[in-house]
Structure 1
């Protein structure tokens, strides 16, 4: 049965403790139920919300603009990477980060150290998530490996052997907002969590919701629990086939609605029998928060897809006009380098000739001619990325991504109604 454990705090050594924090007294640790043996029943409204959210996500992942979301998902990972890198102030722009990603394979310049750090973290996040999503089964060791990948400089790797806490003083748990289970309970709770992750007892969004809440409640690491917990949402959704990759920005929606997110997690931590009405109400309260966030995330991502579809139509019109002015066929062959680059721009909005040559498996002259044609048509902008090397940039895509990220940081999902509440790139027109 989930319960609060009564404990007493005493300092073992007061020599380094500030006088104001030399306190002792009772505090409570939380021991959650095992989720593999806990019944889950949802209300009619909860089932309806789950159905609506899942339908929205499936339509998003399988619709005609799904390829565009692959590019968006990579750039949305930047918000996670910024948090992981402890970057403060204004976030590096999507274009800066894209250049830094390009520099991982080519010799280019023109980006900041912040952008390089973020790009490296994006790569780590993506690879770690792909490894977990494609594994036959997930183990506790796999989640520990994800933690190491996300926090390579963390000195305390592996499951925690000490008591941690959320909020309050660094010196004692007496004023903490939440104190997770004692360290000796963590291994069994994590074993239960991965067993649940490897099953399919519940719908994908419900499973992702429970995994995230239970992981954050266990808080199995001394640091980085938020980053790992957010990554596990996408792991579940990808493993269950609901999304092909991390294309649903649900963790960013939860971060923007932080107060409601914390309230939902707090409600999830009941103290009652697992088959009681109190336990059912607690889980339902959290599911409502998560499913609403998933629905909003799908709506916002869908808005981005619609904008990309419109942008593609504008590009095609520009290219047709340019080719007609040259007395050429307005529409290039579908298998031509020009058409293939045009289709891939939402996913890869900055290219060099060598990048295009490698991706398309065409000759260097063919790649160069295609990029030049798109630049002459006003679809790509030329810029020097290294001595003697020209980069070709789809600035319209970077503008859409920046505006999407800013909307996702607004509590009203509209920066005109509510300013972003966390670091985001400045608007591209400033």
Structure 2
């Protein structure tokens, strides 16, 4: 199963440009799970605006949307800064965690207190899991990053073990799950398995929560190290993880196919619009219009300033390109407190449908209902 999981991931990298842009929106469910329980959750459009707000002034972005956008940022950091480092250090993990929780310094740094999962907020007597005492955490993290920096196992095995061990150490007082899931992407990218694509593996693990918890519980065994029982416990977790990777690859490939079909529709609409306007030639590959189209899955909400900043074109060229895409019904205009935004609604809707599908244990909401709160149908 491990080799099957590796082959399924490698198969995504042939043409993964769209997946690299869109999968960060799939990952947003990790950051908004608690707000959805309370009935408060940003739409994918709000999240896109919050992400844009990191570079430009964007009015009226909700706090929940900023939280989700920030989580996407740490996933990207896990795939860039930690991948580019010659060796990952514990400080990299501390910095990644701090970036996840801006404005919450009470949670920064490696914990110095006991924490636990489940049960009472006041004592660990009824907890589902009690991590190691705080005094052991620094040495355990040193051991973890030493393993992360090596290549003694296949990428899938290494990613699964790094995630399980990080969650078992539980080194922070908050945000352990999100950091631990980001480290899956760190390992897979450092090992060259996901050079472009970002797997929605954490969403699949969330959907298959009972298997996920059972796998982690098996991993947290008390058998003698090196014994047959200890190997069996670790193998049980890795089977769960490998199945999640295979499913995530299949769903990511499905999303890629949908995006490819959407691109074909865009090309037809744009060609028809240009013909109606008397343009005989196709859009040049280096034009602002073509550049915007290529990046739309990754930047489905943008402004004229966005186009100028990303593509290095003039204000006039950006305006003309955006107007052409609006005329072709690829972009839709939205004015917000004096700022004009352009949305690729079909991309936002596609991400919403994908998130709904990934919340079903059969990955089809017609066959089984979502197992967690999901956005409304577009």
TM over 0.5: yes
TM-score (norm 2): 0.93
Q: Map of 1:25-424 to 2, 5 A cutoff?
A: 49-60=1-12, 62-64=13-15, 66-83=16-33, 88-109=38-59, 111-127=61-77, 129-152=79-102, 153-244=104-195, 247-387=198-338, 389-424=339-374
Change (3 A) 1:302 1:368: same
CA contact (8 A) 2:32 2:68 kept: yes
Q: Deviations over 1:60-85 (max 9, x none)?
A: 1x222x11112212212322232487
- The separation in 2 between residues aligned to 1:306 and 1:197, in whole angstroms, is 33
Say which one has the larger Rg: 1
CA contact (8 A) 2:74 2:96 kept: no
Q: Deviations over 1:189-241 (max 9, x none)?
A: 21111100000111111100001111111222233221221111111111111
Q: Which residue of 2 aligns with 1:11?
A: none
- The separation in 2 between residues aligned to 1:369 and 1:156, in whole angstroms, is 47
SS of structure 1 residue aligned to 2:333: strand
- The separation in 2 between residues aligned to 1:358 and 1:249, in whole angstroms, is 29
SS of structure 1 residue aligned to 2:270: helix
- The separation in 2 between residues aligned to 1:223 and 1:273, in whole angstroms, is 31
Unpaired runs of at least 5, structure 1: 1-48
CA contact (8 A) 1:204 1:240 kept: yes
SS of structure 1 residue aligned to 2:120: coil
The alignment yields a C-alpha RMSD, in angstroms, of 2.0
- The separation in 2 between residues aligned to 1:392 and 1:375, in whole angstroms, is 8
CA contact (8 A) 2:47 2:68 kept: yes
Unpaired runs of at least 5, structure 2: none
CA contact (8 A) 1:125 1:149 kept: no
SS of structure 1 residue aligned to 2:340: strand
Instruction: State the 4+ residue runs in structure 1 displaced beyond 6 angstroms.
Output: 84-87
SS of structure 1 residue aligned to 2:360: coil
Change (3 A) 1:245 1:320: closer
